[in-house]
Structure 1
Amino acid sequence: MRVFNCEACGHLIYFDSLQCVHCGAAQAFLPDQLRVGILQSSDATSYTPSSDLTARYRPCAHRHNISLCNFAIEPSDPHQLCVSCRQTEWLPDSSNPANELRWAKIEVAKRRLFYTLAKLGLLDPHGHRVPEPRFSLLADIPGSTPVMTGHASGMITLNVVEADDDERARRRLALREPLRTLIGHLRHESGHFYWDQLIAQSAWLEPFRALFGYENLDYAQALQQHYNKDPLDTRWSQSAISAYATSHPWEDWAETWAHYLHMVDLMETAASYSTSITVPDIPSSGPQMICNPLGNVPLNFSVMQAQWVPLTLLHNSLNRSLGLEDAYPFSISAMAWDKLRFVHDLISDYRQKSGFAVPAL
């Protein structure tokens, strides 16, 4: 996720900023332009928007409730909710204050997913292209079947208890997962959605099968066999990005897809700060500026792969300096890299055929 600058004073602001802490200008993310701009508001009198067009943007109706949505709505858009909030079709019981807070946390992660998918050309930031993923954010009801996180027919369902840090940590430890985050859940489930859109009925299906396997394996049986495996068996690391990825070709794809979205987001963040990397044990290689895979110029996957390892080493080293666990607890095998390259090539092909171009900033 790149960082931005306030158009009024030039101070650093973030993707989800509502206000510039330096000059007080109201900030809003403009989905059609994929940038943060100044939003005209009643409490902002010390600045002037950079253009009449920016002044005509309206705030999302969820800006002033617990969601704190900072997305703006285009002047020609009649909706009261922004293009990201409109994707959420079902919400949990709002009479429970805990559910309100959970919903707000999930919407933050969902807006970040929207940004990455839009930058990759997979979503229309104007909200006109269909189909696009829809979301159902539900809470368990006592006496009823527990809500299962998953995807079906374009609807991504997330059990909102995943927004509770303690519960998410408990599940991560119980399932022996290296990483479990809200954005990770959403990226994973979006992978299932885009498998249907980009692979299922396309020329990419046979190349997918050659690399990931045949998707017509019995899904329920495959998952049962996976959970019956010895959790200490690490042979999965030779072929997949995670143990769960070996349960079924669909899950292998979704885990790989999510990991690719992790990659492009982290690399864009590093590039936004003009990060330069020199691998300590290969000093003769000299410094490398981290490239932005979400920029106007398509990035060669080999460059991404070469820069990813030293970037994640730096990330982990910084965490260890603060006494924290590794932020990136993965080691990617050659076969897993091949699968990540497949995701990259698929998205690149789609972007080229759709004529997508990142809006100039």
Structure 2
Amino acid sequence: MRTFTCPECANLLFFENSRCVVCGTAVRYDRPARAMVEAEDSHGCANAELAGCNWTAAEGMLCGCCALTRTRPDDGDDRALDAFRRAEAAKRRLVYQLDDLRLPVTDRTADPRHGLAFDLLSSRDRPVTTGHAGGVITIDLAEGDDSHREAVRARLDEPYRTLLGHFRHEVGHWYWDRLVADGPALPEFRRLFGDERADYQQALSDHYATTPGTAWAESHVSHYAAAHPWEDWAETFAHLLHIRDTVQTAAAVGVLVAGDPIEPHRSTPVDAIPDEHGDDLDVLLATWTPLSRALNQLNRSMGKDDLYPFVLAPRVHAKLKFVDDLVRPAR
């Protein structure tokens, strides 16, 4: 993510800030400007209290990100609303990155049948399955609870599981419909990922009935990616977003790791980080490899597990390039 500065004193701001800690200026993130602006010069999102939203409102009372949420917990459900706030914070990071990549974020108003919408539901009283169907992304708000998410991660023997990762994975399914399905990229997709016409439910049943093993690592970014070509795409899409966001953040704050071929940039203006971070995937991955290793070492020094517990095989590189070419076409 790019860095932001206070419009009054130029102090460094986090993306989640609603007030500058140095001069006290109230700020909001303005989506069209992709910058922090003074709150008194803008109209805030109506979800400022409910969802902790620090974005300016769009045409209505809500910002463009909050307006994507179709279903949320009831006002009186305090426990679920706490989880809802965490989910909306992750969704704002997702939407910011999609905007930064210039990917279309079409809502249900613009496309009532296939537009993007989010159902953020609590599984405390009824089962909720995180997933995507016809543009509607359902997120189990329990994924925002660290103990629940860690228990599920351990039960499924996953090396990595985060709320933001869920959003990136599920929105990847939506973009498959827009970037691949029935289009010119479909034959190459099938060559790299496999035939998506294979029975999806049977593939998932087979996946959960087997132990992970290690063979999947030769051609997939994760064990779950090996379940079905659709899941392979979504996992690869999510990993591309993980990598791009982290490399961009490192550049924005001036982090340079030995072996990293890209010079760091400090991002005071919105476009201070040029697109050289994204136009060549080989350069991006050459940056990411030493950076991810350094981040893993730092995590271990703090007694934590690896931040990025994956090794990207050459066949995964080819899949990442396929996704990247669709996500960032020649400009």
TM-score norm. by structure 2 comes to: 0.92
The Cα shift of 1:315 comes to 0.8
Q: Give the corresponding residue for 2:46.
A: 61
Q: Does 1:289 align with 2:263?
A: yes
Contact 2:261 2:283 (8 Å CA) reproduced: no
Who is 2:99 aligned against?
118
Instruction: Report if the CA contact (8 A) 1:267-1:290 is conserved.
Output: no
Q: Contact (CA 8 Å) 2:119, 2:136: kept in 1 or not?
A: yes
**Cα deviation 1:296-340 (Å, max 9, x = unaligned):** 455211110111100101111111221211111111111111111
- CA distance in 1 between partners of 2:50 and 2:117 (Å): 21
In the alignment, what sits opposite 1:134?
117
The verdict on how the C-alpha distance between 1:172 and 1:236 changes in structure 2, with shifts beyond 3 A counting, is same
Within the alignment, does 1:81 sit opposite 2:81 as a pair? no
Q: Show the counterpart of 1:47.
A: none
Map of 2:285 onto structure 1: 305
Please say if 1:277 is aligned against 2:257.
yes
Are the counterparts in 1 of residues 46 and 57 from structure 2 also a CA contact under 8 Å? no
Counterpart position of 2:82: 101
1:174 shift after superposition = 0.3
Shift in CA distance, 288/89, structure 1 to aligned 2, threshold 3 Å:
closer
State the distance in 1 between where 2:106 and 2:10 align. Answer: 25
Q: Helix, strand or coil for the counterpart of 1:67?
A: coil
Question: How many residues align structurally?
Answer: 323
Greater Cα shift, 156-165 or 102-111: 156-165
Letter in 2 for 1:133: L
1:27 aligns with 2:62: no
Aligned mate of 1:241, from 221, 229, 238: 221
Q: State how far apart, in whole Å, the 1-side matches of 2:237 and 2:70 are.
A: 24
1:72 is paired with a residue whose SS is coil
Name the SS of the counterpart of 2:328 in structure 1.
helix
CA distance in 2, matches of 1:24, 1:272: 23
Within 2, Cα distance between the matches of 1:37 and 1:188?
Answer: 31
- The 2-side partners of 1:100 and 1:345 are apart by 38
- Residue 93 of structure 1 and its aligned partner are, at CA, apart by 3.4
Output one character per residue of 1:201-222: Cα deviation in whole Å (capped at 9) or x when no partner. 2111111111000000000100
Q: Which residue of 2 aligns with 1:156?
A: 137
Extract unaligned runs of 5+ from structure 1.
Answer: 41-54, 280-285, 353-361
1:335 alignment counterpart: 315
Q: C-alpha deviations, 1:154-213, integer Å up to 9, x for none?
A: 000011111111000000000011111000000000000000111102111111111000
Identity fraction in percent: 39
2:176 corresponds to which residue? 195
Runs of 4+ displaced beyond 4 Å: 124-132, 290-294
Aligned to 1:355: none
TM-score by length of 1: 0.84
Gaps of at least 5 residues in structure 2 are none
Aligned counterpart, 1:71: 55
Is the contact made by 1:275 and 1:289 (CA closer than 8 Å) also made in structure 2? Answer: no
State the Cα distance separating 1:132 from its structure 2 match. 4.4
2:6 alignment partner AA: C
Distance, in Å, in 1 between the alignment partners of 2:184 and 2:254 is 38
Residue 233 of structure 2 corresponds to residue 262 of structure 1? no
Take 2:106 and 2:237, find their aligned partners in 1: how far apart are those partners? Answer: 21
- CA–CA separation in structure 1 for the residues paired with 2:106 and 2:297: 36
